[in-house]
Amino acid sequence: MEMSRQAEPIYLELAATLRRELADYRAGDFLPAEVQLAARFKVNRHTLRRAVDELVQEGCLLRRQGKGTQVLSRPLVYPVAAESAYSQSLSAQGLGVQAQLLQRRPCRASLEEAGHLGLAEQSALIELHTLRHLDDQPVSLIRHRYCASRAAFLADYQGGSVRAYFAERQLPLSRAFSVIGARLPSRDEAAELLMPRHMPVLSVLTLSRDASGQPVEIAYSISRSDRFQYQVTT
């Protein structure tokens, strides 16, 4: 396919063509090599690279060093309500949800965390660090923190929905509040989520409590902003 020579810069015309063709790819697929695309469209590699840059800036593509250019996914809506749970809500939308346990570690409560959990500052906590996938694509990192007295209760957790784990053990949790913000990801976070570092992540601090109203969990999640939109319901 030869690009036409019109008033619009050739790289923007090429970007529009590539943008349309992304509908034929699945999230996680890789584009052909730049040299192949440049030959196909009869443009030089500099022009091809500028076109790809446009789609990287839009969050449609991700350059992965040594691997190529990967196709990213479109956003979905996650309803934030007292009883909403990540895995349950997204599974209901027909998505395959997986939660991988990355790390289990002891830590200490900050002044803010101690206040939320009703503990003394520097109290011992246990943290579960999980990576959430939707249809096999990484989209969220979550740090769940609990009083260290729950270490034995959490000993059998090896992955999957944390809310479901609690509910199966007769301790259902509900959301007390969430604070939603945004920031840029760290290098490690961007690598885990397969996203560019210039793209913000949505950050959420959530306090969850048990049926008696006692605070149980404080969670810090970050999610790819090109994959998520939060819908707050009352």
CATH number of 217's domain: 3.40.1410.10
**In the chain, beta strands by DSSP E:** 61-64, 68-71, 76-80, 97-108, 124-134, 137-147, 174-183, 201-209, 215-224, 228-232
Q: Name the band, by pLDDT with cuts 50, 70 and 90, for residue 90.
A: low
- In tens, the pLDDT along 159-184 reads 999 999 999 999 999 999 999 999 99
Examine residue 206 and state whether it is found in any structural domain, yes or no.
yes
Secondary structure (3-state) at 169:
coil
pLDDT above 60: residue 158: yes
Q: Name the band, by pLDDT with cuts 50, 70 and 90, for residue 227.
A: confident
Same domain, yes or no, for 122 and 103? yes
Q: Name the band, by pLDDT with cuts 50, 70 and 90, for residue 86.
A: low
pLDDT above 70: residue 87: no
Q: What is the pTM of this model?
A: 0.67
Same domain, yes or no, for 135 and 50? no
- In tens, the pLDDT along 4-26 reads 555 568 999 999 999 999 889 98
Residue span of the structural domain in which 24 resides: 10-71
Same domain, yes or no, for 57 and 161? no
Q: Name the band, by pLDDT with cuts 50, 70 and 90, for residue 64.
A: confident
